C-alpha cells in the first residue's frame, strides 16, 4: 500500500508539471526541428534584436538587399514589445523601401553600415522617396555616422527643374512622414537625386548630428525640408548642398533650428510660401546659433507674388554668423524663380512679428540687408536688432535696402537700415 501511494504521488507531480508546461507555452517535445530558415526573433512576445545579415542581407554594395530589410522590418513592426534592428558594417544596396507603420511596439534601427541607392534614374511617382519612414510612433534611428548615398550625379544632369518648374519627378533621399515622439540621430545623406531629407506631418521629432553632403551643382537638393509639422527640433547639422540648407514649408509650428553649419548652398529659408492654394500658417520658428558660409543667401523669408492668402508669424533668426554670404538678411515677397510667376501682383502672404537679431559677419554683396514686403499685404512688426555685416568689395561698404516696409530698429545697425530702395532679383 505504501508503494502504491508513492506511485500515485509521483504520477500526480508529473501531471501537474505537464499542465504547467502547457500553460507556459513550452513545447512538450523539444526534439529536432525542420531545417527551414526564418527571420530571427527575440524573446517571446517581442521582436528583440534582429540582424539584417541574419535575414539574408549581404552588405557588399552590389547585391540587392531590399528583401532582407523588408523581412526584418515586418518582424519588428509586428512584435508586441520593443524591437531593435541591427545593421552591421557594410554597404547595403537597396531599391525604394518604405518602413511603414503603425507598429505594435517601439522600433529602433541601429545602423553601423551604409545604405546605397541605384545610380540609374528611373521613373518614379511624384514626391516619392528612396528610403521612407512612415506613420511611426516612438521610433529611434541611431545612425552612428551612417551614410545614405543617393548616387545622384546622373540625376542632376537630367534635372530640368529650373526650366520647367516641375521638380518632383526624382526621389527624395530620406522621407520622414507622420512620425510622432521620435528621434533621428547621427545620419548623413549624400548625393541625393532631389531633396536630401523631407520631414512632413510629424509631431515632436528631434533630429541631431545630421550631415548633408552634395556639390553645388546638385540642383534642387534642399538639405532638410520641414513642413506641416509641430514641435520639430533640428539640433546640430553640417550641410553642404546645391540648394537651401534648411527650408521651412507651410504648416510648420514650434520649430527650433540650432547649431547648423550651412555652406555651400542657398542658406536657411522660410518658404517659399504662397505658391499653392490652402497652405497652412507658419508659426513659431526659431533659427539660432548657426554659421552660414559661402552661400547664395543667408537667412531669408520668401513668398510668391500673386499668391493666395497665407500667414507666417513669430519668426526669429538670432545669433547667426555670416562668412562671405550673398545677401545675408533677406525678406523677398516678390520671389520668382521661374517664368510662370505673376510678376507685379502683390503676395497675399501676411508676415508679422519677424526678428533678425545679432546677425554678424561678412557680406559677399554690397546689399547686406534686403527687405521687400508685399505692397498689398504689408509686413507688420519686422525688427532688426544688433546687426553688424560688412562688405569689403570694390562697390563700397555694405548697405541696407527696403521696400514697402519700415523695420523696428534696436542696438547696433551696420549697415544702416533702409538707406536704399530694394528691388527684386539678385
Residues marked active site are found at 266
Pick the closest to residue 238 from 169, 274, 292 (CA basis): 292
What nine digits make up the cell of 387? 546687426
Cell, residue 416: 544702416
Bond preceding residue 272 cis, omega within 30 of 0? yes
Backbone angles phi, psi at 202, to 5 degrees: -110, 160
Q: Which of 240, 288, 289, 242 is nearest to 262 (CA)?
A: 240
Cα–Cα distance for residue pair 129/225, rounded to 1 Å: 13
17 phi and psi angles, rounded to 5 deg: -60, -40
Q: How far apart are CA 111 and CA 69, in angstroms?
A: 12
Place of cell 502504491: 4
Tell me the C-alpha to C-alpha distance, in Å, between residue 304 and each of 275, 321, 349.
Answer: 6, 27, 8
Residue with cell 509641430: 230
Q: Are 419 and 400 contacting, i.e. CB atoms less than 8 angstroms apart?
A: yes
Amino acid at each position: 500500500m505504501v508503494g502504491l501511494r508513492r506511485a500515485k504521488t509521483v504520477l500526480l507531480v508529473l501531471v501537474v508539471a505537464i499542465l504547467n508546461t502547457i500553460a507556459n507555452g513550452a513545447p512538450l517535445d523539444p526534439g529536432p526541428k525542420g531545417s527551414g530558415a526564418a527571420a530571427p526573433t527575440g524573446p517571446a512576445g517581442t521582436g528583440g534584436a534582429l540582424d539584417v545579415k541574419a535575414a539574408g542581407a549581404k552588405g557588399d554594395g552590389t547585391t540587392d538587399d531590399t528583401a532582407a530589410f523588408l523581412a526584418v522590418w515586418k518582424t519588428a513592426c509586428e512584435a508586441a514589445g520593443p524591437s531593435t534592428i541591427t545593421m552591421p558594417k557594410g554597404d547595403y544596396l537597396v531599391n525604394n523601401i518604405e518602413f511603414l507603420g503603425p507598429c505594435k511596439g517601439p522600433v529602433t534601427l541601429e545602423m553601423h553600415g551604409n545604405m546605397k541607392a541605384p545610380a540609374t534614374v528611373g521613373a518614379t511617382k511624384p514626391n516619392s522617396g528612396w528610403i521612407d519612414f512612415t506613420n511611426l510612433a516612438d521610433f529611434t534611428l541611431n545612425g552612428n555616422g551612417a551614410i545614405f548615398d543617393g548616387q545622384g550625379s546622373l540625376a542632376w544632369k537630367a534635372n530640368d527643374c529650373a526650366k520647367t518648374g516641375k521638380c518632383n519627378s526624382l526621389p527624395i533621399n530620406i522621407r520622414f512622414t507622420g512620425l510622432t515622439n521620435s528621434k533621428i540621430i547621427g545620419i548623413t545623406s549624400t548625393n541625393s537625386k532631389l531633396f536630401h531629407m523631407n520631414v512632413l506631418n510629424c509631431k515632436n521629432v528631434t533630429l541631431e548630428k545630421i550631415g548633408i553632403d552634395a556639390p553645388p551643382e546638385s540642383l534642387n537638393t534642399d538639405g532638410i525640408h520641414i513642413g506641416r509639422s509641430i514641435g520639430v527640433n533640428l539640433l546640430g547639422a553640417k550641410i553642404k548642398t546645391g540648394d537651401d540648407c534648411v527650408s521651412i514649408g507651410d504648416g510648420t509650428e514650434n520649430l527650433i533650428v540650432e547649431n547648423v553649419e550651412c555652406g555651400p548652398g542657398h542658406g536657411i529659408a522660410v518658404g517659399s510660401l504662397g505658391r499653392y492654394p490652402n497652405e497652412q500658417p507658419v508659426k513659431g520658428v526659431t533659427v539660432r546659433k548657426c554659421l552660414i558660409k559661402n552661400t547664395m543667401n543667408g537667412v531669408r523669408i520668401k513668398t510668391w507674388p500673386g499668391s493666395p492668402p497665407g500667414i507666417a508669424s513669430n519668426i526669429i533668426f538670432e545669433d547667426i554668423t555670416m562668412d562671405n554670404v550673398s545677401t545675408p538678411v533677406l525678406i523677398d515677397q516678390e520671389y520668382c524663380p521661374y517664368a510662370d510667376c505673376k510678376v507685379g501682383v502683390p503676395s497675399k502672404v501676411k508676415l508679422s512679428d519677424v526678428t533678425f537679431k545679432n546677425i554678424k559677419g561678412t557680406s559677399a554683396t554690397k546689399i547686406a540687408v534686403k527687405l521687400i514686403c508685399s505692397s498689398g499685404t504689408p509686413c507688420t512688426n519686422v525688427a532688426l536688432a544688433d546687426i553688424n555685416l560688412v562688405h569689403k568689395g570694390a562697390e563700397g561698404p555694405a548697405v541696407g535696402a527696403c521696400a514697402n516696409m519700415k523695420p523696428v530698429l534696436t542696438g547696433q545697425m551696420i549697415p544702416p537700415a533702409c538707406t536704399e530702395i530694394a528691388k527684386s532679383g539678385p
